[in-house]
Structure 1
Amino acid sequence: MAEKAAKRECSSPKETSTPKKAKKLNEDGGCFLKPGGDVLASLKTLEILSESAEEKKIIVHGQLEGNDAVVVLEKNPFSKDTLEELFTSSTLKFDMENNIYSSYSLQVPLHLNEIKTTVIYPATEEHLKKYRSHQSFLVEETGDDYQSITLPYIQSRTFSIQWVYNILEKKAEAERIVYEDPDPKVGFTLLPDLKWDQKRVVNLYLIAIVHQRGIKSLRDLTEEHLPLLQNILKKGKEAIRTHYQLPASKLRIYLHYQPSYYHLHVHFTNLKYRAPGCGLERAHFLSDVIQNLQSDGQYYKTRTLSFQLHEGNGLLCKFKEAGRLEFR
């Protein structure tokens, strides 16, 4: 009975990584959007994929020029550098008062009320599934599960990471690079993650993308990769101290498993910032990864790794079909 239910839940249309009506494609496979302040003026909202009152974020599925788009809207955090202007240039609208407590709506100048906006265009079914709010399940993946379930699934995917290669080859985002070690074996490129507006160090978020290709995730790492990981840890911390005056003791440095894309990369975030995916179900401290590999060079080949997947995720369906997940 459970097996039939699993097949029914996983019988969604085959996932695709190419937009149905993509037009104006550039040489790297992306669509050109008209630059300027009116990019989203013609957006037709189709659905709210997810929203979070705690994170003050909403993710919208819409259409631009006939193609699907995902738009992520996030309220920017406060900055102490703008507090004086915030207090002197804003207007208070009274709401209520009770004893020593009173509440107001603060009408602030437009430039102090910006919304961090990320646009994914053209968006694929994979993007929509990634951002849509779903019921979550905890998967416990053994080394054998990885070989028999996860790896075949990854190898069957055609989801492009051309954008990663564009960064490494300086075909895109070259002006955003904070630091680069060009060594083909232990080198990496460090640049801001799109989630960071680069205006406040309090929500600092950078990504170190390795130059070496063929390392998909944590599962591929062995003792031979220790020089690479140690180089990222050492030089990444040095670069962030130099550029942002943030010491290593105020950084959270980790890898995701499962990652959002299968080319090895390391996350550097401000310890004060609760970045998406920095929790126990997904994040692995880089320092812990290094120590584990020093103790056992094959640690991540055999270790059982736990991670969270959302309902409708293709990999989750594979675990259900294999009878490796209790979901009823």
Structure 2
Amino acid sequence: MAETAKREGDAPGENEQDDAKIKRLKNDPNSDQGNGDASAFESPLSGFKTTTVLRDSAREKNMFLHGKLNDQEAVIILEKTPIREDTLFELLHCSRFNLDMSNDIYRTYQLQPPAHLNDIKTTVICPATEKHVKKYLLQETYLVEETGEDYRTITLPYIQSQSFSVQWVYNILEKKAEAERIVYEDPDQDVGFVLLPDFKWDQKQLDNLYLIAIVHRRDIKSLRDLTDMHLLLLSNIRKKGEENILKRYGLAASKLRVYLHYQPSYYHLHVHFTALSYEAPGCGVERAHLLSDVIQNIQMDSQYYQSRSLSFPLRADDNLLSKFKEAGKL
């Protein structure tokens, strides 16, 4: 992770300079931006003004921005897309190469690929809440060990006191949004779920396959709520999720990592399916719980996740961390 400081946005006069630069690009007949056709350059982010760079990573080739989009708080995530094997011929034969250095058997070039091979995946969250901004801000992290009693007296009251909206989840379940992205659905309201690609996956290669199974039931917040009453649900997700990933993408169950997060990023039960070869964010032992382990643990003890201690990371600015400190748990 690149070392990143909080960087302030535009200095006085810079916005005007940016506007002038955009106009030049739109009207430049030699520009790649639509060959002088201003309509080809219209951007849904033309009204965005950067306030801070929340985080960036040279290794992961991404950047997280906070600012205003048409006077609303917004977070924008920029990610360089992976190089795909099916584009290699065009990449190597149709790109412009500028030599940087040559020394004996070593040469380095700046490669400028055709525009359609130079994608940057862009995720926009607008209007963004303070929680969204904090989520992407580079911060110190602490490992919290939460007992069953801690959950009941600290975590659960905190969750209940907050207005964590999952309306976007209900929109998916009700087909009001992202219906075209659903790759499989079991409509049963007790053991059913929808399976759809996570936004982290570009759906162009299997090496970083990432899908999410979101349950139809709305009464299960997290791992802590699961008992033997939910074994049919969990087994159904595992079985049908793996079957449909094999059918659609040709990836066998032995090539998948299937797990739940604790703490989850949103409080509506969902299960992650990722390619085993992909080190997805949050797949480490401090947060990920394999679905197969969860099923076996509940089979041994129905109250397993109500009684056992669970460890999870919290960022320095997380209000839940403050609650644990106030209770003398850290």
Where on the TM-score scale, by shorter chain, does this alignment land: which range? 0.7 to 0.9
- The residue identity in structure 1 corresponding to 2:99 is F
Shift of residue 100 of structure 1? Answer: 2.2
1:254 aligns with 2:251: no
Query: Could you tell me which residue of structure 1 aligns to residue 284 of structure 2?
Result: 279
Query: Could you tell me which residue of structure 2 aligns to residue 179 of structure 1?
Result: 184
Q: 2:118 aligns with which of 97, 113, 120?
A: 113
- The residue identity in structure 1 corresponding to 2:76 is V
* Structure 2, gaps ≥5 residues long: 1-40
Q: For the residues of structure 2 that align with 1:246 and 1:174, how far apart are their CA atoms?
A: 23
Q: For the residues of structure 2 that align with 1:95 and 1:301, how far apart are their CA atoms?
A: 59
Shift of residue 317 of structure 1? Answer: 0.8
* Structure 1, gaps ≥5 residues long: 1-35
Query: Could you tell me which residue of structure 1 aligns to residue 147 of structure 2?
Result: 142
Q: For the residues of structure 2 that align with 1:151 and 1:37, how far apart are their CA atoms?
A: 46
> With structure 1 as the length reference, what TM-score do the two structures score?
0.87
Shift of residue 194 of structure 1? Answer: 1.5
1:151-162 correspondence runs (5 A): 151-162=156-167
1:214-229 correspondence runs (5 A): 214-229=219-234
The worse-fitting range, judged by mean Cα deviation, of 105-114 and 196-205 is 196-205
Q: 2:297 aligns with which of 281, 292, 296?
A: 292
Shift of residue 275 of structure 1? Answer: 1.2
Runs of 4+ in 1 over 6 A off after TM superposition: none
Query: Could you tell me which residue of structure 2 aligns to residue 164 of structure 1?
Result: 169
Query: Could you tell me which residue of structure 2 aligns to residue 208 of structure 1?
Result: 213
The worse-fitting range, judged by mean Cα deviation, of 98-107 and 246-255 is 98-107
1:296-315 correspondence runs (5 A): 296-315=301-320
Shift of residue 98 of structure 1? Answer: 3.0
- The residue identity in structure 2 corresponding to 1:121 is C
Higher RCO (CA 8 Å, separation ≥ 6 residues)? 1
Q: For the residues of structure 1 that align with 2:42 and 2:80, how far apart are their CA atoms?
A: 18
Q: For the residues of structure 2 that align with 1:284 and 1:97, how far apart are their CA atoms?
A: 49
Aligned residues: 290
1:18-97 correspondence runs (5 A): 38-97=43-102
Q: For the residues of structure 1 that align with 2:244 and 2:152, how far apart are their CA atoms?
A: 37
Query: Could you tell me which residue of structure 2 aligns to residue 268 of structure 1?
Result: 273
What SS does structure 2 have at the residue aligned with 1:111?
A: helix
Shift of residue 62 of structure 1? Answer: 1.3
- The residue identity in structure 1 corresponding to 2:103 is N
- The residue identity in structure 1 corresponding to 2:226 is L
Q: 2:201 aligns with which of 196, 202, 207?
A: 196
Q: For the residues of structure 1 that align with 2:245 and 2:74, how far apart are their CA atoms?
A: 33
Query: Percent of aligned pairs with the same residue?
Result: 66
- The residue identity in structure 2 corresponding to 1:218 is L
What SS does structure 1 have at the residue aligned with 2:320?
A: helix
RMSD: 1.1
